[in-house]
Amino acid sequence: MQYVSLFLLTFLFSSILLAQDEDITILAKKLNLYGGQKAAIQWNRIFSSQRHLKKYKLEKLPIQTRNKLQKYLISHAADSEQPIVPGLQP
């Protein structure tokens, strides 16, 4: 019985984490941001500049969401191991 409970808790926790990643992917698409548009260093510059945050309409996002979005875009940047660009399916 304990193993079943542990399995269910693990499954629920991993489902929540996956759903959050999917939410960030959807948010990036809504903002028309794709990791492959820029190199990782360029994404870092965008997220560290108030002027760029306003340009990309990111200044109103909560800090936590902004940080997740930044991490997502950098992990899929043009110079990453898994770049994502519009029109290409993984």
Q: Model pTM?
A: 0.71
Give Dmax over CA atoms of the chain in angstroms: 55
Dist CA 42 CA 47 (whole Å): 9
**pLDDT given at position 7:** 45
Examine residue 11 and state whether it is found in any structural domain, yes or no: no
pLDDT of residue 83: 83
> Residue 35: inside a domain, yes or no?
yes
7: in domain? no
The owner of tokens 């945050």 is: 53
Domain that holds residue 41: 21-83
In a domain, 4, yes or no: no
Q: Is residue 3 part of a domain?
A: no
User: What is the total count of domains within the chain?
Assistant: 1
pLDDT tens per residue across all 90 residues of the chain: 665 554 444 444 333 333 356 899 999 999 999 999 999 999 999 999 999 999 999 999 999 999 999 999 999 999 998 887 666 555
What pLDDT shows up at residue 3?
59
* Region of 2 on the Ramachandran plot (φ > 0 left; ψ -120 to 50 alpha; else beta): alpha
68, part of any domain: yes
